[in-house]
């Protein structure tokens, strides 16, 4: 679809780079010429000989560590052109039963962690008058949750989580604010709102909800990676503040 040199000499930092979606995005960027740093809580085993992608360990909730890692990437490679915030967690259960500790944990990683990474990347992108920030939202941040407790209370326990939805709605709004703040610096800020994506985290996703996806399948990590590649392209500087739905038609707006 794109030339293998689409991102030639661009430097990309992908958080959550060891998970399914993050790994797919990092691989897609590397395949199109970018120098990629994949950050995660733990670097995956067996990556020492991976010449295309550098793996580092990073906790996105630790502001000092985030800034230090971001500064080091920019110093070592000479720039920081693309930031993709994939690092995140899911958890399930009804609002009535959700412990406040779980609420705080989800927001700290999904929303505050994404903000800290954006904040650390902004000075580098402003300085070079170019940047692409791509945040990972979710259809659940738009549609009030996939579960239908009025039909099946069990769905709420297996597929509902107000903390996750609120964290992703916050990511969508943060994207809009940053897009306006950084537009004059040549930096675009967009988010991707995936629908249900097949992964270890969605193995318990109810079949009744899978059946509601119009394209009749769960999403794949590659679907999200292709969207992230599109938004990272240097030619797409007129697209900013957008939340791109990649959900198989389960939610349209």
Q: What single DSSP character describes residue 184?
A: G
Question: Which among 139, 148, 147 has a CA at the least distance from the CA of 195?
Answer: 139
d(CA 145, CA 208): 14
Catalytic residue among 2, 29, 77, 164: 164
Q: Answer whether 87's CB lies under 8 Å from 39's CB.
A: yes
Report DSSP letters for 189-250, one per residue.
Answer: EEEEEE--B-SGGGTT--HHHHTT-TTSS-B-HHHHHHHHHHHH-TT-TT--S-EEEESTTS
| Rounded Cα gap, residues 10 and 119, in angstroms | 20
CA angle 61, 69, 233 (to 5 degrees): 95
Angle at 120 between CA 140 and CA 78, to 5 degrees: 120
How many Å apart are CA 176 and CA 180, to the nearest integer? 7
Q: Is 164 a catalytic residue?
A: yes
- Residues with catalytic function: 164
């Amino acid at each position: 679809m794109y030339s293998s040199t689409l991102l030639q000499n661009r430097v990309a930092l992908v958080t959550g780079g060891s998970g399914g979606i993050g790994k797919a995005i990092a691989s897609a960027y590397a395949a199109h010429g970018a120098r990629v740093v994949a950050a995660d809580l733990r670097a995956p085993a067996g990556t020492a000989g991976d010449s295309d992608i550098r793996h580092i360990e990073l906790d996105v909730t630790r502001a000092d560590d985030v800034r230090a890692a971001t500064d080091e990437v920019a110093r070592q490679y000479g720039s920081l052109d693309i930031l993709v915030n994939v690092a995140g967690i899911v958890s399930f259960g009804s609002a009535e039963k959700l412990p406040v500790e779980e609420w705080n944990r989800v927001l700290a990683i999904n929303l505050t962690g994404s903000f800290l990474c954006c904040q650390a990347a902004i000075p580098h992108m402003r300085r070079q008058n170019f940047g692409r920030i791509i945040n990972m939202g979710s259809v659940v941040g738009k549609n009030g949750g996939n579960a239908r407790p009025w039909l099946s209370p069990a769905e709420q326990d297996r597929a509902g989580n107000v903390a996750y939805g609120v964290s992703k709605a916050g990511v969508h709004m943060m994207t809009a604010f940053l897009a306006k703040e950084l537009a004059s610096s040549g930096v675009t800020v967009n988010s991707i709102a995936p629908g249900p994506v097949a992964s270890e985290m969605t193995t318990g996703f109810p079949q009744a909800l899978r059946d509601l996806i119009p394209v009749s399948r769960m999403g794949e990590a590659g679907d999200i990676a292709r969207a992230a590649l599109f938004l990272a392209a240097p030619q797409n500087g007129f697209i900013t503040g957008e939340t791109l739905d990649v959900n198989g038609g389960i939610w349209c707006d």
